[in-house]
Chain A
Amino acid sequence: MRLTHTRNSNVKLGVPRDLYEKIGNQEKIIELMRIGLLSLRVASLDREIADLVERTEALKKRIVELPYETEKLNKRLEEFIKDQKTLETLLNVRR
């Protein structure tokens, strides 16, 4: 930021002279800057909110999927444990 600090917590900004002359006074420039920055902030917040909503929806979707996926894994685990016991039995029989 190209700011020049002065006493009494004031800062100096360099405004293009032609812009200054077109608008006419400092107060109007400051107000237009405030409006411009607020408009940019609104646009930025809109984007951040849309991103948050999208990420929240993706998580909600995953939360719905996970119990089903976990249940599938549980069934597979039971199946492998059963196989493990059968394998132990088959290998022990031959010893």
Chain B
Amino acid sequence: MNIQARKVSLKRIRIDENCGIHQLATKLDASLDAESIQKIVEFGMKSTCSGKQLAQTVKELEDRKKKLENDFREIALQCIKLESKYVGLRTQIGKIFRDNLVQVFHLCSRTPNGIHERLARDELIHKYIKLSKSQ
């Protein structure tokens, strides 16, 4: 059962909107109802760092995150280029394979003329039937 539901007696305190509390809560998507305030304060009491140290750590982490985001964007762009080349090739191969398979079916109905033609014909039929089964 939460604090609001238990109708806990509240003490209203006034804070400056620009003191940072409001902005931090927004960034964290944290509520500032009585129950959340209780948890946030308890969390603050457990901290071994000062507000100044924590603010410095947050700044350093935000800078690091920005740098990582930039690196990620560059790497992602590089990956997209390579991936599109790969996908394009795969599509092209799929199309040629299907065309060849159709031609192989046509070839099945033909009688080979000579040993070399028969060998080439049998090899292609065997290869494409096997490939079509594995797909």
Contacts and interface: CB of A to CB of B under 8 A. Distances in A.
B135 interface: no
Contacts of A59: 72, 75-76, 79
B12 A14 contact: yes
Contact of A56 (B49, B68, B127): B68
Contacts of A15: 10-13, 34, 37-38, 41
A94 to B, nearest CB: 5
A63 B75 contact: yes
Taking chain A's interface residues, is the majority helix, strand, or loop, or is none over half, making it mixed?
A: helix
Contacts of B47: 35-36, 39
A1 B16 contact: no
A14 B10 contact: yes
A6 B12 CA distance: 12
Contact of A49 (B64, B89, B93): B64
B124 A34 contact: no
Interface residues on A, range: 35 or more
Nearest 5 Cβ contacts at the A-B interface:
A36-B44, A32-B44, A38-B54, A35-B44, A14-B10
Interface of B: 3, 8-22, 24-25, 27-28, 30-34, 37-45, 47, 49-51, 54-55, 57-58, 61-62, 64-65, 68-69, 71-72, 75-76, 78-79, 82-83, 85-86, 89-90, 92-93, 96-97, 99-100, 103-104, 106-107, 110-111, 113, 117, 120-121, 124, 127-128
25 contacts: A1-B25, A11-B14, A13-B13, A13-B37, A14-B34, A16-B10, A19-B37, A21-B11, A26-B13, A30-B15, A33-B44, A35-B49, A35-B54, A40-B40, A45-B58, A48-B65, A53-B68, A55-B72, A56-B68, A59-B76, A59-B79, A70-B82, A86-B120, A90-B110, A91-B110
